Chains A and B, each alone.
Chain A
Amino acid sequence: MSVFEQKGSEAVSNRAMPGMTHNTLPLLHEVRHALERLLRTGESTIIDLRAIPFGPGDEERLLSLLGEGEVAATLDALGRTTVRESRFSGVWIVDHYNSEAERIAFQLEVIEIPALLRAQTEDMYQSLGALDSVLNAEMHGPE
């Protein structure tokens, strides 16, 4: 069967001409350079995937090449954010959604741990106050 006899233009364009469209492999090269830089200098990189001209199937291909690693986390702040480690340690897929489940940002982070997963200093100060109130209430009972 010739490639043109297959059903659906996406299937044809993706399989028939590997490397003809697709920004997946150049992007993967960029990730590799970023990982090397992280190891050599400690400098992290964030790639905004929404700024990359993806064709049909590119995103799926990239995600399948990146695979799944050991860590996955979900953040609930102004909508859901998923942070997944790829099968390449140090390469993270960070996907931000708003409260309507619409994607608002989509990034690859090449870093030891994405900043959003760290506890934030301001939040920790607030927690200190909150813990004090809990301890106060527990020790002295409600007023």
Chain B
Amino acid sequence: MAENNTLGDSLRRHGVSRRGFLKFCTATASLMALPPSMVPAIAAALEKARRPSVIWLSFQECTGCTESLTRSHSPSVESLIFDHISLDYHHTLQAAAGEAAEAAREAAMHENKGNYILVVDGSIPLGNPGYSTIAGISNLQMLEETAKDAAAIVAVGTCAAFGGLPQANPNPTGAVSVSDIIKNKPIINVSGCPPIPTVITGVLAHFLTFGTIPELDQYNRPKVFYGQSIHDRCYRRPFYDKGLFAETFDDEGAKAGWCLYKLGCKGPMTYNACATTKWNQGTSWPVESGHGCLGCSEPRFWDAGGFYNALSVPISDNSQTVAFAAAAGLVLGAAAAGLNYKTKDEAQKAHANVTVDDLEKTS
């Protein structure tokens, strides 16, 4: 359960020197994608940080998001952050099951009323509560119950943030996102399929450090990680700007590292931190490995017209997601800088794909 000692106290108890603490703050700034000039402020805040209680609920999900997070759980800096978070309930990671687990959730909710962070992965089925239940409780009921006294909610993964794969056409379970249901709490969407592990940790570190939620974009995603498109940060961008595109995955352009736009890269409409944060401890990221971005951190990416079609637009709507149709339109509108808007609008009306050739013809 959450304790009252501060992070400063617990680090000193672990025998961490002041230099070690400064290094910890430097790594935390880097983790939160904040500039190094913020380190003194982070040091002052972390010195006083108290241990927040976290309740993690998993609904219609594949456990990929938890996998992503636990892969980032390496000893030292990150683990010090995690040691300092009291993870009071997590279906997958906790030993307790059934009624004992539910008792732990209720106890954490009661003891930390109004102060705990609720993390959710997975979408919520509204079609029939029987599609997904935990200890006989429907996902909807558990979410409403647990959200009621939370300080803030972190929707981890595209399923919790936007509906994700379960919501893809024809959305058999009537899947919706957390923010479709909860309207009166701050919600931080950490989208991605899965989200980048350090982005999950970075958001929790921000809450731990400052006790507040980070600045958010129009989809409630933290701006520090989702403020720029994949395309804007892509090291292949100079090739795009010069019109040098790989046409197949093994042609000379592909071997020379040219832009993957014609092979379906959704980088221009996708906002995420992959191009800088990278994956697998900073080893590489999809575009660096030679595959276009799928747009996994955007609403309705699954229905965006084929992963290998050059920049396509969402094809059709379904009954559960009328609101998201407008939202997806916004993303495309905002992100498609440099494209021929008229062509894209016409294609959107006709529900067709736009190719580079189409754009070249009309621009």
Contact = CB atoms under 8 A, between A and B. Distances in A.
Interface of A: 3-4, 9-10, 12-13, 16-17, 19-23, 46-48, 50-56, 58, 75, 77-79, 81, 96, 98-100, 102-105, 107, 115-116, 120-123
B291 interface: no
Given A50-B30, A98-B74, A123 B17 contact: yes
Contacts of A79: 76-77
A120 B235 contact: no
A53 B235 contact: yes
Nearest to B236: A21
A96 B282 CA distance: 13
B288 interface: yes
Contacts of B277: 50
30 contacts: A9-B256, A10-B257, A12-B256, A13-B257, A48-B35, A50-B30, A50-B276, A51-B33, A55-B235, A55-B257, A55-B288, A56-B257, A58-B235, A75-B23, A77-B17, A78-B76, A78-B77, A79-B76, A81-B23, A98-B27, A98-B77, A99-B75, A99-B76, A100-B75, A104-B30, A104-B31, A105-B27, A107-B36, A116-B22, A120-B22
A96 B23 contact: yes
Given A21-B239, A99-B75, A116-B22, 8 more contacts: A3-B256, A20-B239, A48-B29, A50-B282, A51-B33, A77-B23, A78-B16, A96-B26
Q: Is the interface of B mostly helix, strand, loop or mixed?
A: helix
Interface of B: 16-20, 22-24, 26-27, 29-31, 33, 35-37, 74-78, 80, 233-236, 238-239, 242, 252, 254-257, 275-277, 281-282, 288, 290
